[in-house]
Amino acid sequence: RTMLTTSKSWWWLVVALCLVLAVFTLTRVDDTHLQQIETLGGEGLDVREEDSTGRGMGSVESESVGAVVAGDVTNALNIATAEKSLAVLVPFHAKSQLVQTVSFLERLLQDTACDDLPSKPTLYLFAEDEAGVKEARPALDGIDSSACFQAVELASAKLTPQQDRYPQGATAVFYAGFEWLFGKADYTMLLEPDVVAIQKGWLYELFNIIAIHEHLIGDNEGFWMLGSVPRTASVNTDLPLSHRLHINGNALYNTHSASFHRFLFECKQGQHMGDRATFQKSPHGNAYDVDLATCLYSKANYATVQHNMHRFIHSPFIQNLWRHKWNQEELLKDSPRTFLVHGGTKVDVLSGEELVMKGDAV
């Protein structure tokens, strides 16, 4: 009986020790989990709300593991953004657009918020020939852009008189400008003088766009082109798909990818056109943005495109409203993440008919 009593005592002692050990282990796990959350979250996570300019409005306190993950991704994107270089290219025709270009630059600088940019881009102004540069320099030198751009460079495409006609001249200027800028910046935003900024944070938003889409794609190549298809009701639907759904030339371009550079200049030389080559030889052809879309939608180039189509991004950041009347308030109501508009006519009030057209187009 004594041995039985002793055995029972030991049994209860073992059970008690196991319970104590279990409680201690659970407490340690919970403490470790909390320490990990504190390490990731800190005192306040940079999970930023966004205002109409696309810029952050401060940090918020961490409340969940989900917030920690969001903050971690945000920090990663902020780091990626700071590492990317950006340029802005403004091609213009000095003989016919100098006054418009000066007005465009002055208005653009007034409509741009440049505080707290990850880095200041370089502004590249690109005329048709050296005579155009000589004519434009005095007027352009008088514009102070130092608040938004680290430097301004003025050069030309060196077109011959035979090349200096539309649309061939604009296409030649584009390819010469791309060649000039290749390797100088990771990404380049091309803006013609008929682009209007409708939100002051457009330049800051470009850095966000670069970081987010590079994160989503997930490789060192990044995206190749980001912009807008024609978003008006006046598009001729009898034209080929490459015309109806081309990304307009006022777009954000990858200027560090050797693969995109090669593809772009093969398109310039007429390669990959396949069944669309006949269209490009017509009066409708020879526009560089349609040339590029012709390459994309040609079955002769499908093997390459199917692995890279995700690098061509249709974005509301800029809207191509060529030959279209638009109202800023109505546009932002429908598309709050639009920052730039290309072409068209800005009006204070849209008529009922124009509102219907706008709805059909968007």
DSSP 207-237: HHHHHHHHHHH-SSS--SEEE--B-STT--T
pLDDT at 138 over 70: yes
Taking the C-alpha atoms of residue 90 and residue 295, their distance in angstroms, rounded to an integer, is 25
* The pLDDT value given to residue 110: 94
CA-nearest of 219, 218, 191, 217 to 203 is: 191
Q: In sequence order, what are the beta bridge partners of 153?
A: 124
* pTM score above 0.85: no
Percent of the chain with pLDDT over 90: 50
Question: Can you read off the two tokens belonging to residue 74?
Answer: 């945000």
Q: How many other C-beta atoms can be found within 10 angstroms of the C-beta atom of residue 103?
A: 12
Taking the C-alpha atoms of residue 175 and residue 185, their distance in angstroms, rounded to an integer, is 16
Phi, psi angle pair for 354, to nearest 5°: -70, -35
* The pLDDT value given to residue 269: 74
Question: Can you read off the two tokens belonging to residue 118?
Answer: 């990850």
* The pLDDT value given to residue 75: 56
Question: Can you read off the two tokens belonging to residue 323?
Answer: 């030959």
The pLDDT tens digits of the residues spanning 54-89 come to 343 333 333 333 333 444 555 555 555 557 899 999
Sign, CA dihedral 158-223-360-50, equals negative
- What letter represents residue 72's amino acid? D
The pLDDT tens digits of the residues spanning 104-115 come to 999 999 999 999
The pLDDT tens digits of the residues spanning 252-296 come to 999 999 999 998 888 877 655 554 454 455 444 568 898 888 888
More confident residue, 126 or 52: 126
pLDDT at 320 over 80: yes
Percent of the chain with pLDDT over 70: 69
